[in-house]
């Protein structure tokens, strides 16, 4: 069986400078990766539901996906739901916990916590470094989540190659 934990994290770019626009850009990138992690958890919940239903239909799959997408579950709730259904090793649990704390800090406290830092270049550099660290934590947690998700998909007959082809098709035919 293939494992996917050795995939490198995507390189977070170096800041071009430390002006306010750069802080906003890194905040956006960080927020993006927190949503990637959140979507990964949602996808895993959907996969677990489908895997456990031997009489699954296309309509039921679409209904399950829609139900999860309409859900107002927080990142913490998604993590708890996964833990109820899957044995998670300590490293993965730690990475998810760090990511959850970072996500809550990012969304609820980041700019308030850095209100003084925003006023000068050294402070903005500190903010960007914090954002890069949080982004890396989201990527690391998502990588660990892939170590659970992809083997489950493989057991269901869906290889990583099939997923990559589908993503490529969607990318080439979107918008």
Residue 88's domain comprises: 20-172
**DSSP conformation class of 119:** G
Q: Of 57, 63, 50, nearest to 156 (Cα)?
A: 50
Instruction: Give the integer Cα–Cα distance in Å for 141 and 4.
Output: 12
Is the pLDDT confidence value at 46 over 90? no
* Residue 13 belongs to a domain: no
Burial letters 51-79, b for 16+ CB under 10 A, else e: eeeeeeeeeeeeebeeebeeeeeebeebb
Q: For residue 23, give both structure tokens.
A: 């802080």
pLDDT 10s digits, 52-82? 776 778 888 788 788 877 888 889 999 999 9
* Residue 150 belongs to a domain: yes
Of the ranges 10-14, 37-41, 132-136, which one carries the lowest mean pLDDT score? 10-14
* Residue 6 belongs to a domain: no
Kindly give, in sequence order, each residue whose CB lies less than 8 Å from that of residue 49, ignoring residues fewer than 6 positions away. 64
* Residue 137 belongs to a domain: yes
Is the pLDDT confidence value at 3 over 90? no
* Residue 84 belongs to a domain: yes
* Residue 10 belongs to a domain: no
Number of domains in the chain: 1
Q: How far is CA 33 from CA 26, 59, 60, 172, in A?
A: 11, 30, 29, 22
Is the pLDDT confidence value at 84 over 90? yes
* Residue 139 belongs to a domain: yes
**Cβ contact 45:28 at 8 Å:** no
* Residue 46 belongs to a domain: yes
Residue 157 zone, left/alpha/beta (φ > 0; ψ -120 to 50; rest): left
């Amino acid at each position: 069986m293939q494992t996917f934990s050795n995939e490198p994290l995507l390189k977070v770019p170096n800041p071009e400078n430390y002006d306010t626009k750069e802080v906003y850009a890194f905040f956006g990138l960080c927020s993006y990766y927190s949503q990637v992690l959140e979507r990964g958890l949602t996808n895993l919940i959907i996969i677990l539901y489908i895997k456990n239903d031997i009489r699954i239909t296309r309509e039921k799959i679409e209904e399950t996906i829609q139900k999860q997408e309409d859900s107002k579950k927080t990142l913490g709730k998604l993590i708890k739901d996964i833990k109820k259904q899957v044995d998670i090793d300590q490293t993965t649990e730690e990475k998810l916990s760090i990511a959850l704390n970072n996500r809550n800090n990012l969304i609820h406290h980041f700019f308030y916590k850095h209100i003084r830092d925003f006023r000068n270049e050294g402070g903005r550099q500190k903010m960007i470094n914090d954002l890069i660290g949080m982004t890396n934590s989201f990527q690391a947690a998502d990588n660990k989540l892939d170590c659970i998700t992809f083997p489950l998909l493989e057991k269901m007959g869906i290889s990583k190659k099939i997923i990559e082809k589908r993503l490529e098709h969607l990318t080439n035919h979107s918008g």
